[in-house]
Each structure stands twice: as C-alpha cells, then as structure tokens.
Amino acid sequence: MTTVRLPIEIEQRLEILARKKHKSKTDLIREALEKLFIQEESEKDSYELGEEYFGKYGSGDGTLSVTYKDKLKDKINAKLNSH
C-alpha cells in the first residue's frame, strides 16, 4: 500500500477528472502510473537513437582519429609548397 500527498491544486484537478470520467481517484492514478511505466520502458537512450547513423557516412578509414594531425600537416605543407 502506498500513500501519496498531492498539492491542493492537483488534488482538486484529480477530483474533477474522477467525477467527469466516473472513476475513482485511485483508478486514475493507477492508469497514469501504468502509462508512465510503459513510456519509460519504451524510451530509447541517446545511443540507441543514433545507433543506425554511427559510421554510416564514414570514410572507411579507421585510423583518422589517430592520424588526423599528420594528414593536416601534410595538407598545409602541400599548400605552402605549391606557391
């Protein structure tokens, strides 16, 4: 058994909704929690959301993160030497 203390505004809104839907406040709270649990279980984290795009537009060169400084130096030197 769980007891929840609600602010007066939420309690009043819950009371109005319960009367409108002809349901108990307990039933409405239970339904709201079930929806929350389903939503939380179906949410993906940031990795899962982007997983299909990781590497999709890559160069295919797995060494770029290690050799980028050398490649940059080579391009700068080539540009300077061409003048």
Which tens digits make up the pLDDT trace of 20-43? 999 999 999 999 999 999 988 888
Determine the pLDDT at residue 36.
95
- This prediction's pTM: 0.53
Average pLDDT of every residue of the chain:
88
Whether the CB-CB separation of 55 and 62 falls below 8 Å is answered with no
| DSSP label of 13 | H
Determine the pLDDT at residue 62.
76
Helix, strand, coil percent values for the chain (each to nearest 5): 70, 0, 30
Whether the CB-CB separation of 14 and 6 falls below 8 Å is answered with yes
User: pLDDT at residue 59 above 80?
Assistant: no
Determine the pLDDT at residue 57.
74
